[in-house]
Amino acid sequence: MALPPTSPPTSKLQHSILREEPDARLKQLLHELQPLREMKSQLLERVKILDDLEELNHGPIFSEENSPTNDDALADALSELPAMILGLSKDIRFLKHKINAMEVERMKYRGKKTMHRVGVLKELLKGYGGSQAFKQLQCDLGLSPSQFTRLVKCLDKRIFEIQRRPGAQRGEKMLILK
């Protein structure tokens, strides 16, 4: 035996609940939709701010609108390149000249005694075969440890090289004539 099909609601109370329920549900959805719209607008503003910051820090963002599509823009950029290279080469020459002047000026400040000691040191190193321990050179020149240290600081590093003596005592160094 089959159950009889249920009849549609016929009471007034049931009709009013069905009519009010969609309206109430619609109002509830609209009420929830409003904060979502505000959040969306805030997020869009934030994205715009971040895009502006990105453009400020790293240049314009690549897009179809701001990409160089014509050959004229490329030709303009290439025409400026030789001038930029020329300017950089002038800067390099100026800096090299300035460095050379500083080296010459540093050499000027050496006294006669220091220049004489450097010459004697060269001759001693040539006699020893190009290298010798600091202690031996210090004794040969008749200098105190502090005087020899100051003399070593004045040496031209392009001509002289300082190395630790292999297999020797701790802190023992050698001066080598290049």
What are the structural domain ranges in the chain? 19-60, 111-177
Could you tell me which of 103, 108, 125, 117 has the C-alpha nearest to residue 174?
A: 125
Q: What is the structure's pLDDT at 120?
A: 93
Q: What is the structure's pLDDT at 92?
A: 92
Q: What is the structure's pLDDT at 139?
A: 93
Q: What is the structure's pLDDT at 13?
A: 47
Q: What is the structure's pLDDT at 37?
A: 87
Contact 155, 107 (CB under 8 A): no
Q: Parallel, antiparallel, or unpaired: how do β-strands 131-133 and 173-177 relate?
A: antiparallel
- Give the pTM: 0.41
Contact 130, 177 (CB under 8 A): yes
3-class SS string, 17-58: HHHHHHHHHHHHHHHHHHHHHHHHHHHHHHHHHHHHHHHHHH
- Return the CATH fold of 111-177: Arc Repressor Mutant, subunit A (1.10.10)
Could you tell me which of 113, 108, 129, 114 has the C-alpha nearest to residue 175?
A: 129
For every one of its 178 residues, what pLDDT tens digit does the chain have, with 9 covering 90 and above? 444 455 554 555 445 554 557 677 777 877 888 888 888 889 888 888 887 777 666 665 555 555 555 666 677 777 788 888 888 889 999 999 888 888 777 666 578 888 899 999 999 999 999 989 899 999 999 999 999 998 998 888 888 999 887 776 777 888 998 8
